Amino acid sequence: MPGLRAKSEAGAGTSAASKTQATLGTTVGTKSLEFAYSRGAAPVITDLTLELPVGAVTAITGKSGSGKSTLLYLLALMITPTSGSILWNGVSASALSDAERSRMRATEVGFIFQDALLDPSRTVLANICEAALFAGMPRHQAVDRARELAVLFGVEHREDHRPGEISGGQAQRVAICRALLTHPRVIFADEPTGNLDNDSADVVWQALADQASLGATVVVSTHDRTLADRADLEVCL
């Protein structure tokens, strides 16, 4: 049975003080959520109700096939529930129009995919700036923000390279830059450290914890027990 487990402060990704300061973010959650990929198929997620707090890193865990990635896509409004609701700040976001959900994804969500999913035909800088197009961010502002993030994550010397010319760890850092470009209130990460060495994984995880400390709602699917233990909360499917 899925459940939300709070962690002790010793293993938390963010401090109690930072969570107290995080008051202006967006809570996400579910109410009686059910999802199946096709009519008549067995549901991947059944009767799930939870609320994920602002200013914390929540780890989504469970065995392979338990619906970790599916839950992220649902919470990020990429797919719609079979029944039940996806709640943003207590309001049923899943009941909104396609256009409104698209607007929310573009302006409020940062999503980090497991395999980075960078456009191989575009430079690192262009990949980072990609999110600006959908969010309506002016080009000059996007480039300035992209370069700021590239320096922060140590990939500024690669901005003119293409994804095939950088390492896997660097590609995932570029993906984080892209996800953070628009200052999203909600950040989802699907197994973001699954293909990385320990040092790169630590950089990625710390970046997520830092965003939570700034007031973002951060939700991460992971099969890594060590990383899950560093989260503030855990949802075990």
pTM of the model: 0.88
Q: What is the mean pLDDT of residues 18-43?
A: 79
**What percentage of residues in the chain have a pLDDT greater than 90?**
74
In a domain, 34, yes or no: no
Q: What is the CATH number of the domain that holds 223?
A: 3.40.50.300
In a domain, 139, yes or no: yes
pLDDT band at 216 (very low <50, low <70, confident <90, very high): very high
Domain count, the chain: 1
What mean pLDDT value characterizes the chain?
88
In a domain, 152, yes or no: yes
In a domain, 180, yes or no: yes
Query: Greater confidence, 203 or 219?
Result: 219
Query: Which tens digit of pLDDT belongs to each residue from 99-128?
Result: 999 999 999 999 999 889 999 999 999 999
In a domain, 224, yes or no: yes
Query: Which tens digit of pLDDT belongs to each residue from 65-89?
Result: 899 999 999 999 999 999 999 999 9
Give the range of the structural domain holding residue 208, as residue numbers without chain letter: 3-25+52-61+104-236
In a domain, 86, yes or no: no
In a domain, 201, yes or no: yes
- Please determine, for residue 50, whether its predicted confidence score (pLDDT) is greater than 90: yes
In a domain, 169, yes or no: yes
C-alpha R_g of the chain: 17
Q: What is the dihedral of CA 68, 71, 72, 74, to 10 degrees?
A: 160
Query: Which tens digit of pLDDT belongs to each residue from 174-209?
Result: 999 999 999 999 999 999 888 788 888 888 899 899
Query: Greater confidence, 134 or 165?
Result: 165
pLDDT at residue number 46? 95
Q: What is the mean pLDDT of residues 12-18?
A: 41
Among 163, 181, 160, CA closest to 172:
163
State both tokens at 71: 């839950």
pLDDT at residue number 14? 44
Among 197, 218, 150, CA closest to 178:
150
Query: Greater confidence, 154 or 25?
Result: 154
Q: What is the DSSP string of 148-164?
A: HHHHHTT-GGGTTS-GG
